[in-house]
Amino acid sequence: MNETTGDDRSLPPALADVARLGFDYDDGNGIDFEAYDAFCPAEETTDWLRQWTGNPEVDGDAYRLFGQDGTGGNAAVWYARPGRPLAEQPVVFMGSEGECGVVAGNLSDFLWMLADGHGPLEAVLFGIDGSRPDAALTALAERHATTPRRPAHALLAEARAEFPSFAEDIAALCR
């Protein structure tokens, strides 16, 4: 077991509910996201990160991949806060064309982002352009969230302010 991140690959109840709910892309007006029913295995995560960065020396221990968009970009929980539980870790996105960014400061804020109609791809590639509330995702967030509801643009700004160098740190790993 990795002392920094642990090796638990079971989804927390909130993400399991996200996976069961599913998403409607709605011809580009919805959320382009497919949640997995389990975190990707450690070896698969490391293989993916090595391919994504072109760096055979990196490992995926700090990431728990839990979904992807239609182009193959991945959403992950990133163990950026040592010693804190998974639910308190930020959510990040690494796109199929090298785009990357922090999406939410923790899983609870990620649920509110989804409830506001924005997924990981949309947040990183296009930013937040208003609110498109989703009733089912709002109900899910209301059941599981431990943080107060805030607009998606505020959640994204808070996460990026807390982790301003994430994209540059990832770029530094690329070969």
What is the pLDDT tens value at each position of the chain, 175 positions in all? Answer: 333 345 567 899 999 999 999 887 877 778 899 999 999 999 999 999 999 999 999 999 999 999 999 999 999 999 999 999 999 999 999 999 999 999 999 999 999 999 999 999 999 998 888 888 999 999 999 999 999 999 999 999 999 999 999 999 999 999 9
Residue type, 161: A
Which letter, b or e, does each residue of 37-59 get, where b requires 16 or more Cβ atoms within 10 Å of its Cβ? eebbebeebbebbbebbeeeebe
* Helix, strand, coil share (%) of the chain residues, nearest 5: 40, 15, 45
**Strand segments (E) across the chain:** 34-35, 63-68, 74-78, 91-94, 100-104
Instruction: Quickly count: other Cβ atoms within 10 Å of residue 148's Cβ.
Output: 8
* List of residues 6+ apart from 117 with CB closer than 8 A: 30, 31, 131, 132, 133, 134, 137, 152
Distance of alpha carbon 172 from alpha carbon 149, whole angstroms = 34
Q: What is the DSSP string of 54-84?
A: T-TT---TTEEEEEE-TTS-EEEEE--STTS
Spell out the domain ranges in the chain.
Answer: 13-173
pLDDT in tens, 32-51: 999 999 999 999 999 999 99
